[in-house]
Amino acid sequence: MILGRRRTPHLVFPDASQLEEPLLDVQDLRTAFHSSRGLVRANDGISFTLNRGKTLGIVGESGSGKTVLTRSIMGLLPNINLERSGSVRFAGHELMNLTPTQLRHVWGTQMAVIFQDPMTALNPVVRVDRQLTESLRIRLGLDRKAAHDTAVTLLSSVGIPAPEQRMRNYPHELSGGMRQRVMIAIALACGPKLVLADEPTTGLDVTLQAQILDLLAALQRERSMGMILVTHDLGVVANRADDIAVMYAGRIVEQAPTKDLFSYTRMPYTEALLRSIPRLTEPSHTRLRAIPGRPPDLAALPPGCPFAPRCPYAQDRCRAEDPPARTAGAGHIFRCWYPVGSPEGEDALARNVAAGVPAALAFTGAVPVGVAAPVAPVAPPASTAESTDAGEEA
Amino acid sequence: MAGSGTAQLRGGDDMMLKVEHLVVEFGKGQRRVQAVSDVSFDVAPGETLGLVGESGCGKSTTGRAAALVHPPDSGSVQFAGTELTTLSARDLRQARTKVQMVFQDPISSLNPRRRVLDSVMEPMAIWGIGTSDERRAKARQTLESVGINPNDAGGRRPIEFSGGQCQRISIARALMLEPSLLICDEPVSALDVSVQAQILNLLDDLKRARGLTMVFIAHDLAVVKNVSDRVAVMYLGKLCEVSPPDNLYRHPAHPYTAALLASIPEPDPSAAGHASSPLSGELPSPTNPPSGCRFRTRCPYAQDRCAEEEPQMRALGPDHFVACHFPLARPTDTPQSTGTASPLASTAS
Segment A89-113 shows an average pLDDT of 90
Determine whether the interchain pair A238/B279 forms a contact, defined as Cβ–Cβ distance below 8 Å.
no
**With 90 as the cut, is the pLDDT of residue A4 above it?**
no
Decide if B87 is inside a domain. Answer: yes
Residue A179 CB-half CA count within 13 A: 22
- Could you tell me if A72 and A261 are in contact, meaning their C-beta atoms sit under 8 angstroms apart? no
B window 249-268, beta carbon within 8 A of A: 249, 259-268
Q: How many CB pairs under 8 A join A and B?
A: 210
Query: Which chain A residue is nearest to residue B206, measuring alpha carbons?
Result: A371
Determine whether the interchain pair A276/B194 forms a contact, defined as Cβ–Cβ distance below 8 Å.
yes
Number of Cβ within 10 Å of residue A137's Cβ equals 19
Asked if B199 is an interface residue toward chain A (Cβ–Cβ < 8 A), one would say yes
Segment A287-314 shows an average pLDDT of 90
pTM of the model as a whole: 0.84
When CB atoms are compared, the residue of A210, A239, A283 closest to B277 is A210
Alpha helices, H only, chain A:
66-74, 100-103, 118-121, 128-139, 144-157, 163-166, 176-188, 206-223, 234-238, 258-263, 268-276, 316-320, 343-355, 358-364
B window 7-46, beta carbon within 8 A of A: none
CA distances from A308 to A103, A264, A289, B193 (A): 39, 21, 17, 18
| Confidence (pLDDT) at B25 | 93
Decide if B120 is inside a domain. Answer: no
Secondary structure letter of residue A168 according to DSSP = T
When CB atoms are compared, the residue of A62, A207, A288 closest to B201 is A288
Determine whether the interchain pair A280/B223 forms a contact, defined as Cβ–Cβ distance below 8 Å.
no
Decide if B159 is inside a domain. Answer: no
- CA distance, residue B170 to nearest chain A CA (Å): 14
pLDDT tens digit string along A139-198? 889 999 999 999 999 998 888 888 999 999 999 888 888 898 999 999 999 999 999 999
- CA distance, residue B210 to nearest chain A CA (Å): 13
- CA distance, residue A324 to nearest chain B CA (Å): 24
Query: Cα–Cα distance between B206 and B188 in angstroms, integer?
Result: 16
CA B117 vs. chain centroid, Å, equals 29
Residue A150 sits at the vertex; the CA angle it makes with A149 and A156, to the nearest 5 degrees, is 95
Phi, psi of B120 (to 5 degrees): -70, -30
Determine whether the interchain pair A289/B282 forms a contact, defined as Cβ–Cβ distance below 8 Å.
no
Confidence of residue A378 (pLDDT cuts 50, 70, 90): very low
B153 to chain A: which residues are within 8 Å by CB? 376-377
- Could you tell me if A228 and A58 are in contact, meaning their C-beta atoms sit under 8 angstroms apart? yes
Long-range pairs for A300-307: beta carbons < 8 A, 24 or more residues apart: A300/A37, A300/A38, A300/A379, A301/A41, A301/A249, A301/A250, A305/A335, A305/A336, A305/A337, A306/A248, A306/A249, A306/A250, A306/A251, A307/A248, A307/A249, A307/A253, A307/A268, A307/A269
Residue from A239, A242, A247, A286 to probe the interface with B (highest B Cβ count within 10 Å): A239
Question: Coil, helix or strand for A328?
Answer: coil
Residue from A239, A258, A284, A363 to probe the interface with B (highest B Cβ count within 10 Å): A284
Number of domains in chain B: 1
Residue from A181, A205, A291 to probe the interface with B (highest B Cβ count within 10 Å): A205
Confidence of residue A357 (pLDDT cuts 50, 70, 90): confident
- CA distance, residue A381 to nearest chain B CA (Å): 6
Segment A241-250 shows an average pLDDT of 96
Decide if B2 is inside a domain. Answer: yes
Asked if B151 is an interface residue toward chain A (Cβ–Cβ < 8 A), one would say yes
Answer whether the bond into residue A295 is a cis peptide, omega within 30°. no
B202 to chain A: which residues are within 8 Å by CB? 370-371
**With 80 as the cut, is the pLDDT of residue A366 above it?**
no
Decide if B79 is inside a domain. Answer: yes
Between B211 and A92, residue with greater pLDDT: B211
Average pLDDT per consecutive 10 residues, chain B (349 residues; last block may be shorter): 74 87 90 90 95 90 93 93 92 92 89 94 93 95 92 88 91 95 92 88 93 94 94 94 94 93 85 61 82 91 92 92 90 44 37
Determine whether the interchain pair B159/A372 forms a contact, defined as Cβ–Cβ distance below 8 Å.
no
Decide if B207 is inside a domain. Answer: no
When CB atoms are compared, the residue of A206, A284, A388 closest to B245 is A284
Determine whether the interchain pair A284/B277 forms a contact, defined as Cβ–Cβ distance below 8 Å.
no
Residue A327's H or E segment, with its range, is: strand A326-327
Query: Cα–Cα distance between B73 and B293 in angstroms, integer?
Result: 22
Determine whether the interchain pair B197/A288 forms a contact, defined as Cβ–Cβ distance below 8 Å.
yes
Segment A249-254 shows an average pLDDT of 95
When CB atoms are compared, the residue of A206, A232, A284 closest to B192 is A232
Segment A371-378 shows an average pLDDT of 40
Between A366 and B176, residue with greater pLDDT: B176
B144 to chain A: which residues are within 8 Å by CB? 374
Q: What is the CATH number of the domain that holds B242?
A: 3.40.50.300
First to last CA, chain A: 50
Query: Which chain B residue is nearest to residue A209, measuring alpha carbons?
Result: B263
Determine whether the interchain pair B265/A276 forms a contact, defined as Cβ–Cβ distance below 8 Å.
no
When CB atoms are compared, the residue of B54, B192, B267 closest to A205 is B54
Query: Cα–Cα distance between B245 and B330 in angstroms, integer?
Result: 15
| Confidence (pLDDT) at A227 | 96
Nearest to A193 by CA among A8, A310, A289, A52: A52
CA A346 vs. chain centroid, Å, equals 31
Determine whether the interchain pair B277/A233 forms a contact, defined as Cβ–Cβ distance below 8 Å.
no
Query: Cα–Cα distance between B72 and B40 in angstroms, integer?
Result: 12
In terms of Cβ atoms closer than 10 Å to its own Cβ (0-12, 13-18, 19+), residue B343 is exposed
| Confidence (pLDDT) at A7 | 52
Query: Cα–Cα distance between B221 and B324 in angstroms, integer?
Result: 20
The range of the structural domain enclosing residue B341 comes to 1-98+212-263+279-349
Length of chain B counted residue by residue: 349
Residue from B268, B280, B299, B319 to probe the interface with A (highest A Cβ count within 10 Å): B268
| Confidence (pLDDT) at B277 | 60
Confidence of residue A10 (pLDDT cuts 50, 70, 90): low
| Confidence (pLDDT) at B194 | 83
Residue B305 CB-half CA count within 13 A: 13
pLDDT tens digit string along A115-130? 887 778 899 999 999 9
Query: Which chain B residue is nearest to residue A239, measuring alpha carbons?
Result: B269
Decide if B144 is inside a domain. Answer: no
CA distances from B186 to A195, A265, B120 (A): 32, 31, 20
**With 60 as the cut, is the pLDDT of residue A79 above it?**
yes
Query: Cα–Cα distance between A322 and A296 in angstroms, integer?
Result: 15
- Could you tell me if A252 and A323 are in contact, meaning their C-beta atoms sit under 8 angstroms apart? no
Query: Cα–Cα distance between A113 and A117 in angstroms, integer?
Result: 12
Residue A329 sits at the vertex; the CA angle it makes with A327 and A331, to the nearest 5 degrees, is 75
Determine whether the interchain pair B159/A388 forms a contact, defined as Cβ–Cβ distance below 8 Å.
yes
**With 90 as the cut, is the pLDDT of residue A358 above it?**
no
- CA distance, residue A322 to nearest chain B CA (Å): 23
Decide if B190 is inside a domain. Answer: no
SS3 per residue for chain B: CCEECCCCCCCCCCCCEEEEEEEEEECCHHHCEEEEEEEEEEECCCCEEEEECCCCCCHHHHHHHHCCCCCCCEEEEEECCEECCCCCHHHHHHHHCCEEEECCCCCCCCCCCCCHHHHHHHHHHHHCCCCHHHHHHHHHHHHHHCCCCHHHHCCCCHHHCCHHHHHHHHHHHHHCCCCCEEEEECCCCCCCHHHHHHHHHHHHHHHHHHCCEEEEEECCHHHHHHHCCEEEEEECCEEEEEECHHHHHHCCCCHHHHHHHHHCCCCCCCCCCCCCCCCCCCCCCCCCCCCCCCCCCCCCCCCHHHHHCCCECEEEECCEEECCCCCCCCCCCCCCCCCCCCHHHHHCC
Amino acid at the residue A146: A
- Could you tell me if A256 and A59 are in contact, meaning their C-beta atoms sit under 8 angstroms apart? no
